[in-house]
Amino acid sequence: MKTLRWIKGLALSACLAWPAQAADLRIFAAASLQGPLDLITKEWSQDVAVSYGGSGTLARQISLGAPADAVILANAQWSDWLVDQGHVAGPARPFLSNQLVLVGPNGAAPLPDPDADTLMARLGSGRMAMGQHMSVPAGIYAQAWLEHINVWTVLRPHLAETENVRAALALVARGEVSLGIVYASDAAASDGVDVVYTIPSDTHPPIQYPALAITSAGAAFLDHLATRTDLFVAAGFKALP
């Protein structure tokens, strides 16, 4: 199973730490959800603590016993892994989708129909930022696109892989790299990047955000979350059909 190969390929530490959370409700969520999810947690009647991170990291923390009432990931294979391994009862709730984009720092020129030559010319001696291709969903989708356009082998030595997609976005926004692959919602949330190319959705697996309730309190929160998809769509996410 491909997911198991990703997990075996990860450098797992002997002890993964998670934040201490003194709150009525504890949510683990993919980093790309932060803006709209922060707004929604403020509406909730209870005190909510949200731990944001890469989906692979969050899934592994839950598998090791991290206390959480619900988890929202950015890739269905990580939620399937949690259910298949018996760490969380399923099924997962499909929640949202997104769009993958190629971004550069403010003022970067468009890069239509990128290929190995145009990407390497734009990078020069620098690197392209993206999530870790073995664990971060945005990185997994990015690898699929790069393989689809036959540039993965050429680009791989020139990648700056990060622990979550927001970290990749920050590298571009700070001008530390000239290109990055992030979600459209991330690009919309940053004043420091411009989209130079919108990656076609048929060049990588479908982007999905599955949600899993771990406790009854988490299930109630996810019920409310499903009524507020308008906030996510306004932030650049896509509603599921």
Residue 29 has pLDDT above 70, yes or no: yes
The reply to whether omega before 67 is within 30° of 0 (cis) is: no
Is residue 217 packed enough to be buried (19+ CB in 10 Å), middle (13-18) or exposed (0-12)? middle
- Contacts of residue 83, defined as CB under 8 A and 6 or more positions apart, other chains included, come to 89, 90, 91, 92, 212
Residue 12 has pLDDT above 80, yes or no: no
Predicted TM-score (pTM) of this structure: 0.85
- Number of helices (H), then strands (E), in the chain: 11, 11
Contact between residue 197 and residue 110 where contact means Cβ atoms under 8 Å apart: yes
Residues in the chain: 241
Tens digit of each residue's pLDDT (9 = 90 or more) over 149-188: 999 999 999 999 999 999 999 999 999 999 999 999 999 9
Residue 80 has pLDDT above 80, yes or no: yes
Give the dihedral of Cα atoms 232, 235, 240, 241; nearest 10 deg: 120
pLDDT (average), residues 61-89? 95
Q: How far apart are CA 114 and CA 96, in angstroms?
A: 27
What is the pLDDT at residue 22?
62
Confidence of residue 141 (pLDDT cuts 50, 70, 90): very high
The torsion angles phi and psi of 238, rounded to 5 degrees, stand at -120, 135
Tokens for 212, please give them: 């899993």
Confidence of residue 9 (pLDDT cuts 50, 70, 90): very low
Q: How far apart are CA 56 and CA 135, in angstroms?
A: 5
